[in-house]
Structure 1
């Protein structure tokens, strides 16, 4: 098996130059870089990441923890993170936790054992002690869709409350006069914020009632069940705001089964902006800037790994109303 010394000898450069090239850290001339790349390919050289980490060097690997890989939001987020990681010469280890804090702890232990350089956590069940454990091991953390009071943890969120308000305002402008809401788990900050937005925009109207809020779990099946229950209570409702696009898809199915035409009888809007183009009618949504969120998460994590001092710890991104067939009678 070829070593770094073999590469440096054949390329006619120092071991330090090869190391700078491999770690993308420091200046290497274009001629030297081209020569090193050709020699690496010729020798089929593979850096020994374990040896590098033992020598105090980085493994160029980061962890990404997501709660539900079946929700299309998270593969879209992972794609953005992986693209950005690739630009930095990093590899991403994907961990799907299934909203299980015990599984989450096992993943954290595994990632620590593998000596990862940092971790991006998009989790509904992460506990402060998990973050403390990572910080004690000097592992930089970027937290998505959640906020903990810690200066050393970068948190990325979107305007969830404003998104909830935008959804209701849009339904009202489309002529709705009784709007139901399917909220996600109340244990999740972003879910509570979206529901607060719905309540802010609905309170004070002559139709609002707490019984117009259905409780669900961010899944298609959950949205379907909640919609059936809401219809039984309020057969005359004419608008629905679901806290994510999957629940909105479930609600759409329940409405169609009940003989309701969407959007003529009931208008439906979701939240997230995931790719559900195959749905009929196409779903209106409050879109998150998913790709920008993922790229910013990776940029911030690299900044933490490199111990840069100008990293913004709390960032909030705007959301956008995307009106499609499910709320537009004349689209």
Structure 2
């Protein structure tokens, strides 16, 4: 055999077993998610041998043969959203630790793309799906669930679709935001959100804001709009809010990281001094601490959310796992107070 051909030939599981000094069964267990049945020393030997031989198991062939693809699907509504990226990292880490590979599809909040990706993931014979859905459940998603594929809903609810849900405690998050803003003396608030029809979490936050604002005797209003299509409307809404007379200090509360970025840009363009006008965002972004004097945020435990979603999904793959009732796993955010919500003047009139 020529050296070029030898270099291109795929290593076999038997060669890995020989190099590692273990049985073929042990190597198979290592790559099929049963590593806990092997000693740490044996795991290290197998990993080293596989790396030396550049061995990669054929997961598709494995799935066709044994009915287990070792593939987990993840459907993301907006991969440009920092929250999605951070949670995806947590999901991938948890999958890899359990011997699964992650297949990620982005829908751009487009129901048609969501249907296409669901069909693709079904063709790959995924063993479970973590989904950050756009809007209402599609026929394809319902079919996937009816076929017995475990689902975990990420940061969303889908009405009649019964599945585990993992995400933020959205009502408590709004309460924490209002508690903080009120404690700093802000009493006239503008809540800004992306369209609520695309995400149940956004709807919960908006409704909670309206309810709690009234109960707490705060003034202000809420507005949901598309950042891509209604940028000028966002800028006008901010201008109108800042220009309106008020005896109470004003603050803007942003429903997610995308809104925080858009609002920060608008305020900087107007030369607004943060603190005198309060600014607070849901979701921590790396740049929030870099913008003078620092933007106050409520940080989601994204890595924990991603790992919990994966663990919930894998539990459904255990014997009798599918029989358990749907679970709701909600996390609390962490307040990161910075200068954008410093104690304001007593009046902005």
TM-score (norm 2): 0.82
Matching residue of 1:154: 164
Aligned to 1:208: 219
CA contact (8 A) 2:73 2:130 kept: yes
- What secondary structure is seen at the aligned counterpart in 1 of 2:340? coil
CA deviation map 1:212-251 (0-9, x unaligned): 222223x488577425324325614611112113212322
State the SS of the aligned residue for 2:164.
strand
Mapped partners of 1:115, 1:308: distance in 2: 20
Q: Deviations for 1:239-297, whole angstroms, at most 9, x for unmatched residues?
A: 11121132123223323333432111x10111122323333342212222111101111
- Structure 1 unaligned regions, length at least 5: none
How far apart, CA to CA, are the structure 2 residues paired with 1:129 and 1:297?
Answer: 23
CA contact (8 A) 1:272 1:288 kept: yes
| Equivalent residue, structure 1, for 2:341 | 327
Q: Is the 8 A contact 1:164 1:196 kept in 2?
A: no
Any gaps of 5 or more consecutive residues in structure 2?
Answer: 1-9, 345-349
Change (3 A) 1:22 1:200: same
Contact 1:151 / 1:313 at 8 angstroms: preserved in 2?
no
Go from structure 1 to structure 2 and tell me whether the alpha carbon gap of 1:56 and 1:126 turns closer, same or farther (over 3 Å shift).
farther
Partner residue in 2 for 1:21: 30
Supply the RMSD in Å over aligned alpha carbons: 2.8
Q: How is 1:5-154 mapped onto 2 (pairs within 5 angstroms)?
A: 5-8=14-17, 13-25=22-34, 27-30=37-40, 32-127=42-137, 129-148=139-158, 153-154=163-164
Q: Provide the TM-score with structure 1 as the length reference.
A: 0.86
Q: Which residue of 2 aligns with 1:180?
A: 190
SS at match of 1:326: helix
Residue of structure 1 equivalent to 2:237 = 229
Deviation, 1:132, is 1.6
Distance in structure 2 (CA, Å) of the matches to 1:144 and 1:138: 19
Matched, 1:193 2:204: yes
Corresponding residue for residue 298 of structure 2: 286
Residues of 2 paired with 1:204 and 1:31: CA distance? 61
Quote the Cα distance in structure 1 between the aligned partners of 2:215 and 2:19: 77
